[in-house]
Amino acid sequence: MSYDVTRKILAVESYKPVSGECDIHLDANESFIDIFREAPYLADKIADEIKNISINRYPDPYASGVTAAFSEYYGIPEKYLTAGNGSDELISLIIGALLQKGETIVTLSPDFSMYAFYGSISEVKVHQMKKEDNLSVSIPKLIEYCNNNSVSAVIFSNPCNPTSLGVSRSDIIKLVRNLFCLVVIDEAYMDFWGLENSVADAVEEYDNLIVLKTCSKSMGLASARTGFAVAGEKLTKVLRTVKSPYNTDGLSQAAVKAVLSEKNLLKANTERIIESRKSLNKALIGLAEKYDRLDKVYESVTNFVLVKTSHAAEIQKQLMERSISVRCAGNGYLRITAGSEEENKALIDALEDILK
């Protein structure tokens, strides 16, 4: 017997995290703050919560405890929230379950690669609309494309990974108002820009809007795989119906709930990350002024900085040789996550050394 893998799967390009051992990880947009090490009392609190779990029982299918804590943290009513195993699972669920095979989704380019990835697994047509030359998004062009091409859903990140740029709240609302299809706005990095730019509070008014949130970035909980979909009651009912019953595990539910109750710590950590990004952004702009091989550094509103350079692959390799990982984003860009003060300094020193 020889099993033939279906054609759709042969066409799927797997997500490739930067591989190889290294000391300084600036490639995955994680938080550089390890709260278990920095706040041992919190690690102990979580350990106690976990000891109280009935590990032989299935967890709460609606993750009520962590959902209530998330609702409280952002001021989003629980009835609009669906918990997921990271927002990645929710992207997969939205594309795989809300759309039908052969329907068209529109995403932007460059943007998060997972939208097209889940689209191809679900046999959904993916149209990647190119951004403007300065990497901004033309909302009028997006509206025109969607309304002329029977598009079923639009999905993109705001602020964007990898461009690090944001689309204003008024532009997003304009998009949602002018489209009849589903609009999914992935706000993984919104905490770094400012919640006044979020459209999460608009789901009550617009029943075609889903906003995705994650605990992986500003909260520093990437290992606990927890994200949320924010949507009006109709779409929330659908998402809760189609999700797998126990999609978030009991250990993560307990851990994330405990961390979410530490509002002050989370706000302070978000501020620390923003400060780090500002200083990284500034230092990289300094290098770009000095060295022609860096073409442009974008003004980031996220926890990473995008650098335009036609030498991206070679610089990434030379940084890796110095045990620093950064990510090549598309053709001709480096995406560098803000690290601790020492990590940023090590990166800038290494870049000087490579570029001089």
Establish if 186 lies at the interface with ligand PLP (CB under 6 A). Answer: yes
The Cα 209–Cα 156 span in angstroms is 12
Binder of ligand PLP out of 208, 214, 218, 337 (CB under 6 A): 214
Question: Between 142 and 181, how does the x/- string for binding to ligand PLP read (CB under 6 A)?
Answer: ---------------x---x--------------------
Q: Which stretch binds ligand PLP (CB under 6 A): 31-39, 210-218, 251-259, 325-333?
A: 210-218
Comparing CB distances to ligand PLP, the nearer of 65 and 227 is 227
Q: How far apart are CA 97 and CA 51, in angstroms?
A: 35
The reply to whether omega before 162 is within 30° of 0 (cis) is yes
Q: How far is CA 7 from CA 15, 121, 123, 125, 148, in A?
A: 18, 10, 10, 15, 29
Nearest alpha-carbon partner for 187 in 129, 229, 239: 229
Query: Cα(184)–Cα(95) distance, rounded to whole angstroms?
Result: 10
Q: Which residue of 43, 126, 222, 287 would you call a contact of ligand PLP, by CB under 6 A?
A: 222
Residue 29 in contact with ligand PLP, rule: CB under 6 A: yes
Among 227, 232, 250, 339, binds ligand PLP (CB under 6 A): 227
262 binds ligand PLP (CB under 6 A): no
Using CB positions, name the residue nearest to ligand PLP: 86
Contacting range for ligand PLP; rule: CB under 6 A; set: 16-24, 84-92, 118-126, 348-356: 84-92
Q: Which stretch binds ligand PLP (CB under 6 A): 57-65, 212-220, 231-239, 266-274?
A: 212-220
Query: Looking at beta carbons only, is 200 or 346 nearer to ligand PLP?
Result: 200
Return the sign of the alpha-carbon dihedral for residues 60, 65, 70, 75: positive
Question: Among 48-56, 66-74, 101-109, 216-224, which window interacts with ligand PLP (CB under 6 A)?
Answer: 216-224
Beta pairing partners, 186? 157, 212
Identify the three-state secondary structure at position 273. helix
The answer to whether 251 and 221 are in contact (CB under 8 A) is no
Closest CA to 215 of 74, 322, 355, 78: 74
Toward ligand PLP, which CB reaches closer, 87 or 269? Answer: 87
CB-wise, 113 or 236, nearer to ligand PLP?
113
Three-state DSSP class for residue 163: coil
Establish if 112 lies at the interface with ligand PLP (CB under 6 A): yes
> Could you give the CA distance from residue 88 to residue 82 in angstroms, rounded to a whole number?
13
Determine, following the binding rule CB under 6 A, whether residue 88 of this chain makes contact with ligand PLP: yes
Residue number with CB closer to ligand PLP (218 or 281)? 218
Q: Is 227 helix (H, G, I), strand (E, B) or coil?
A: strand
Binding window for ligand PLP (CB under 6 A); candidates: 129-137, 215-223, 316-324, 327-335: 215-223
By CB under 6 A, the residues from 279 to 298 that bind ligand PLP are: none
CB-neighbour burial class of residue 356 (10 A; exposed 0-12, middle 13-18, buried 19+): exposed
Residues in contact with ligand PLP by the rule CB under 6 A? 29, 86-88, 112, 157, 161, 186, 188, 214, 216-217, 222, 227
